[in-house]
Amino acid sequence: MCEELGSDEDDIDEDGQEYLEILAKQAGEDGDDEDWEEDDAEETALEGYSTIIDDEDNPVDEYQIFKTIFQTIQNRNPVWYQTLTQGLNEEQRKQLQDIATLADQRRAAHESKMIEKHGGYKFNAPVVPTSFNFGGPAPGMN
């Protein structure tokens, strides 16, 4: 007395499959990339817009300004600083510290770039004697 139980799991939903294929074609997900052009990959006007802050040679750095202002508030008006930071969670406090670290790194990189731009470090070479007298008295012992 084996009776087969009716199950919808084994049935193939052909109407649903056709519907999915139609949706895929409408969405352009049918694997046909002929409509795609390289012009679509170009940056938009907003992405291509640059400001003076974007200029690498600009001495103004937004991270350094933020850090300086935040430190000034902390030193000159601790109550206001406390009000600004009391609602921050641990992750947000870490992000503030990361911004300060990034500001320091960017300042150091800018200083290094300026030194390199002006010819690098200048070291004064000590005068090297041209002759040695290993048999004579030691310097300062006449």
Average pLDDT, the chain: 79
Q: Is the pTM of this model over 0.85?
A: no
What pLDDT is stored for residue 27 in this prediction? Answer: 75
Q: Could you give the C-alpha distances from 56 to 50, 53, 101, 116, 131, in angstroms and in order?
A: 11, 8, 19, 14, 50
Tokens for 114, please give them.
């300026």
Kindly state the average pLDDT of the residues 102-127.
84
Report whether pLDDT(72) > 70: yes
- Higher-confidence residue: 117 or 72? 72
Kindly state the average pLDDT of the residues 17-34.
69
What pLDDT is stored for residue 38 in this prediction? Answer: 55
Highest average pLDDT, of 1-10, 75-84, 108-117, comes from 75-84
What pLDDT is stored for residue 30 in this prediction? Answer: 46
